[in-house]
Copies of this chain bind each other. A is one copy, B any other.
C-alpha cells in the first residue's frame, strides 16, 4: 500500500493494539520513523522482553517474572485480608493509596459471558481454594463499579459466602473533593444508603 514493505508491516502490527485503527497506526508509525527511532527500538525490546518473561503469579495470578510475585512473598503483608481486583492496573492503583496491607487475587478480567469470559477464565475455582486456605478471614471485592464489575462481584460473593467466608465490597460514595451538585445522582443515592 505504501512505498515500504516494513512500514506496511509495522502499520498492520500496530493495529493489533486495542483501540488502534488504521489512521492511528499510520500516525504512530510515522511518528516513530520520522521523529523517534530510538522509541521504536525501545518499544521493540520491551515487547520482546515482556512477551518472553512475564508469567502469572502462582498465588495471586498477577503478572510477574518470578513464580510467585514479591507482594505474595512479602512477610509483612496481612495474610488475613484478600482483596480481589480485575487487573494489575487496579491492583497498582490500590497499592498507590497505601491504605491496604493485605494480599491480592487478580482476576485478569471480569465475567463477560458474551465475550466467552466465564468463571473458569477469571479463575473462580482458584480463588475459592485461595480464600479457604485457613489464613484468610475477609475477602474484599474491589472489582469495578460498572455493570460487568458488579455482576462479577455478585457471583464471587455468592460463591464465597456459601463457604461461610466474610465478604465485603469497597464503599460506593461521593468522590473526595467533589461538590455535591456535580456528582451524579446514582452516586449520591448510594452514598446516602451507605452513610456511616
Does the CB pair A32–B17 fall under 8 Å? yes
Is A144 an interface residue, CB under 8 A from the partner?
A: no
Segment at the interface with B among A3-11, A134-142, A148-156, A181-189: A3-11
Contact partner of A7 (CB less than 8 A), chosen from B44, B48, B63, is B63
Residues from 32 to 57 in A contacting B, C-beta threshold 8 Å: 32-34, 36-37, 39-51, 53-54, 57
Is A127 an interface residue, CB under 8 A from the partner?
A: no
Does the CB pair A108–B34 fall under 8 Å? yes
Does the CB pair A42–B16 fall under 8 Å? yes
How many residues on the A side are at the interface (Cβ–Cβ under 8 A)? 60
Does the CB pair A13–B51 fall under 8 Å? no
Contact partner of A2 (CB less than 8 A), chosen from B34, B92, B108, is B92
What separation, in Å, do the CA atoms of A57 and B40 have in the docked complex? Answer: 20
Q: Which of A44, A50, A69, A87 counts the most B-chain CB atoms under 10 A from its CB? A: A50
Is A119 an interface residue, CB under 8 A from the partner?
A: no
Does the CB pair B48–A44 fall under 8 Å? yes
Segment at the interface with B among A23-31, A159-167, A170-178: A23-31
Does the CB pair A44–B51 fall under 8 Å? yes
21 A-B contacts, Cβ less than 8 Å apart?
A2-B62, A2-B92, A3-B62, A3-B64, A6-B49, A6-B53, A6-B54, A6-B65, A12-B46, A16-B42, A17-B43, A23-B89, A26-B88, A30-B88, A32-B51, A33-B63, A37-B51, A40-B47, A43-B44, A44-B48, A47-B47
A residues lining the B interface (CB < 8 Å): 1-7, 9-10, 12-14, 16-19, 23-24, 26-34, 36-37, 39-51, 53-54, 57, 62-65, 69-71, 87-89, 91-92, 96, 108-109
